[in-house]
Structure 1
Amino acid sequence: MFAAPTAPRRHGAAADASLRQKRVLTRMRVVDKFAILTLSLSLALIGCTSQGLNQSTTSMPTSNTVMTSGLVTSAPLETATSSQTLPVYWLGSSNDDVFLYREFVPARSSDDPIVAALRVIMGGKPLDPDYFSIWNNPSRLGASISAKNVITIDMSADAFSNKVDKGIAERSISQLVYTATAAAAMAGLVDTSTSIQVSILVDGHTGYNAFGQLTLEKPLTRAAQFVAPVWIIDPANGSHFNTLPLKVAGQAISPTGTLVWSLSHVVGDKVGEHYLSGTVTIEQGPNELGEFSFTLVPPPGSYELSVYVEDPAAPGKKLGLDTKIVSISEPSAK
């Protein structure tokens, strides 16, 4: 349903690497007015669920270079864990596109993990105010898993009551698919060695016209092109620490295999003076979605942590920018 574009013909390893690098950079370059997601935009999106929709969340960003697909070509499943948390995916703007980002929330419901996770994205609020969801909390929601690794989600039509454009509709359906498969995988309810499909029923039937944009006819799999190109997984937005070092981890893709990070002071609700910056490498190398991690030892205070790809053709432009607000306090007295 959301097929990625056909890859260009390859002419040897060197040409292939050059084409992939150009592809990554071309898709990550955007017009300047969307290049930096400032704190003011973050604050504007606080509580941006079905009760607080606006034009910026119901339609794709408009620019001269709108991306039609993302950079990621594969989206590995989460692994089973005994942790009492639920994986949930949100939509989030980065430059002139909208991508999927994951958060973990406490498992506080007696519902099965798939239903509980879907209830969060349909009626809850993300920890990071840069993220949002356009789903309504449905009056009826259920989930089941077949012996063939197919997750069936059955919900009432009121979940789709918001009007959105096709781009947001596609990403919202993928948001549901990612959340359902992540919750099932982490709970050990599916065989993660084979493909997992999600069939979406509305009032018990297939063929529903979701958001007036997409017909839900066939089972769906994860659409890798919607995964964020840069994504800070730890720390979560709003985290508070009284012990150091501050450990930062995430996943990203970069044409050089290198990312830039920065730490800026936050005073009140405004990002202020730049404090520290550096680079970090992606473990899997250039042009591959992979993991990154580093540690910081800042003095007490509030900070905006940023991670991004620096565009070599336009120094200073931040591509795929993701940010988190964190605070550091004096160590607790023993």
Structure 2
Amino acid sequence: MSEHSNEPFDEMMRRALAEEADRIEPADALPEIRARAHAQRRPAARRPWLMTVGAAAIGTAAAIGAFTVFNGDQNTANDGDAVAGPGTTTTASRAPSSASVSPTPSPVATLPPATAPEATTAPTERGKPEQVVKGALVPIYWLGDRAGTKSVIVGPKPSTQARSTVRLYRTWAKVSGRPAVEAVRIMTSKQPGDPDYYSVWRGAEVNTVTRSEGVVTVDFKELPATDLDADTADVATQQLIYTVQGALHNSSEPVQVTQRGRPGAKLFGQIDTTEPLSRAQAADVQALVSIDSPAEGQTTASPVTIQGTANAFEATVNYQVTNLKTRKSTKSFVNTKEGLKFAPFLIELKLTPGPYQIDAYLISDADGTISDADTKTIFVK
């Protein structure tokens, strides 16, 4: 798939999400939702209904990109820029890993606004910096676990779990300043609004993002100190690449990672940064089903419009809507515009006031189990 083939859908999603953001009241209903939900169920049971499909047992699924609400002066963010990218996969030298880290997300953190960048766009020794903008909508990518899996963080022994248990989940953020710099800053220092997402880039501190001769250079003051298993390190590296390229509206330019101007440091103890790194195929690293809006913890009016993206077998996306107060559930399905490729889907629901859990999921054609899922908890006024 070429770089240009996704541009109309990218812009359509940006406009749709901006319109949806204007329609939704950004009241923070998440505490009330969680209080009601926890009164009805154990905290760990994010998706109790996912335990069986036929005779198959399924674990808790990772949620996928939606409006992430940041506190303070930060604006509403949501995930949804079209997903497929050029097919060059990152190849990297890998070294043994030794440390362990927990992927458990913590509540959204409030961070002071970034200092307004200077308006100059003069070239630096690494290339030309971005233009300063105001109110740009940029994608932010996070890590999350596929349905029934756990991410593999290396401990004393090598991991034996299957590849691709970790996926990228996209959100959106409205930023002012240099878009890619601000996007990376959010990715490395914020907590996502959805508790099913996390980042292993904590501790990293971005310096500049510049472009020169078809290469994007992301320079860090500090890189993350976390060591990961090889497969998780690959997806975590793609988290940076997808976020930067999305902010720059260009998925073809490889990303050179440097620390204080020097390449070659090992990312997560695995990825060689001596040479620029390219974007992997979306189907290899990105979540296969995603609820783009409404947001996790968002308050909205009925009818509720659920927008998402999926790469679904036979273009079929299943969904379940559960009233967290009455425990009444409704199941159905909807079709994407095309099957076996990333395409949008739309669900219209008339809901009575109250807290709801919205689940969108794919069912494996091989064994009937849930292979991928996304969950959002909302409040209907």
TM range (shorter): 0.5 to 0.7
C-alpha separation in 2, matches of 1:205 and 1:253: 38
1:232 pairs with 2:282? no
**Which residue of structure 2 lines up, in the alignment, with residue 166 of structure 1?**
230
Secondary structure in 1 matching 2:241: helix
Counterparts in 2 of 1:35 and 1:276: CA distance versus 1, 3 Å: same
TM-score (norm. length: structure 2): 0.59
Deviation at residue 129 of structure 1 after TM alignment: 0.9
- The alignment of Structure 1 onto Structure 2 pairs a total of residues equal to 247
C-alpha separation in 1, matches of 2:229 and 2:365: 33
**Which residue of structure 1 lines up, in the alignment, with residue 322 of structure 2?**
264
Backbone CA RMSD of aligned residues? 2.7
**Which residue of structure 1 lines up, in the alignment, with residue 257 of structure 2?**
200
Deviation at residue 290 of structure 1 after TM alignment: 1.2
- The gaps in structure 1 that reach 5 residues or longer are 1-28, 40-52, 59-80, 186-191, 330-334
**Which residue of structure 2 lines up, in the alignment, with residue 301 of structure 1?**
354
Counterparts in 2 of 1:314 and 1:87: CA distance versus 1, 3 Å: same
**Which residue of structure 1 lines up, in the alignment, with residue 330 of structure 2?**
276
Secondary structure in 2 matching 1:207: coil
Deviation at residue 168 of structure 1 after TM alignment: 2.1
Deviation at residue 84 of structure 1 after TM alignment: 3.4
Residue type of the partner of 1:307? Answer: A
Secondary structure in 1 matching 2:314: coil
Out of 168, 175, 178, the position equivalent to 1:100 is 168
Q: Deviations over 1:207-258 (max 9, x none)?
A: 21112111112222221210111111111211111x3221111111122111
Q: Deviations over 1:300-325 (max 9, x none)?
A: 1111101111235545x322111111
Deviation at residue 274 of structure 1 after TM alignment: 4.0
Q: Deviations over 1:167-196 (max 9, x none)?
A: 2211111000000011111xxxxxx4x822
Counterparts in 2 of 1:142 and 1:34: CA distance versus 1, 3 Å: farther
Identity of aligned residues (%): 26
**Which residue of structure 2 lines up, in the alignment, with residue 181 of structure 1?**
245
**Which residue of structure 1 lines up, in the alignment, with residue 345 of structure 2?**
292
Deviation at residue 38 of structure 1 after TM alignment: 8.4
8 Å contact kept, 2:168–2:239: yes
Residue type of the partner of 1:227? Answer: Q
Secondary structure in 1 matching 2:351: coil
Out of 126, 149, 168, the position equivalent to 2:214 is 149
C-alpha separation in 2, matches of 1:38 and 1:174: 18
Counterparts in 2 of 1:277 and 1:33: CA distance versus 1, 3 Å: closer
Q: Deviations over 1:94-150 (max 9, x none)?
A: 12211001111231x54x11110000010001121100001124345211012x332
Deviation at residue 262 of structure 1 after TM alignment: 0.7
Residue type of the partner of 1:105? Answer: A
- The gaps in structure 2 that reach 5 residues or longer are 1-52, 64-99, 106-132, 150-164
Deviation at residue 56 of structure 1 after TM alignment: 4.8
Secondary structure in 2 matching 1:131: coil
8 Å contact kept, 1:91–1:175: yes
C-alpha separation in 2, matches of 1:249 and 1:83: 22
Counterparts in 2 of 1:54 and 1:302: CA distance versus 1, 3 Å: farther
Secondary structure in 1 matching 2:223: helix
8 Å contact kept, 1:35–1:319: no
Counterparts in 2 of 1:180 and 1:56: CA distance versus 1, 3 Å: closer
Structure 1 stretches of 4+ moved >4 Å = 31-34, 312-315
**Which residue of structure 1 lines up, in the alignment, with residue 43 of structure 2?**
none
Residue type of the partner of 1:104? Answer: W
**Which residue of structure 2 lines up, in the alignment, with residue 116 of structure 1?**
182
C-alpha separation in 2, matches of 1:240 and 1:151: 38
Structure-to-structure mapping, 1:240-251, within 5 angstroms: 240-241=299-300, 243-251=301-309
C-alpha separation in 1, matches of 2:322 and 2:101: 29
Residue type of the partner of 2:371? Answer: L
C-alpha separation in 2, matches of 1:139 and 1:197: 20
8 Å contact kept, 1:177–1:221: yes
C-alpha separation in 2, matches of 1:283 and 1:296: 19
Secondary structure in 1 matching 2:240: helix
Counterparts in 2 of 1:288 and 1:208: CA distance versus 1, 3 Å: same
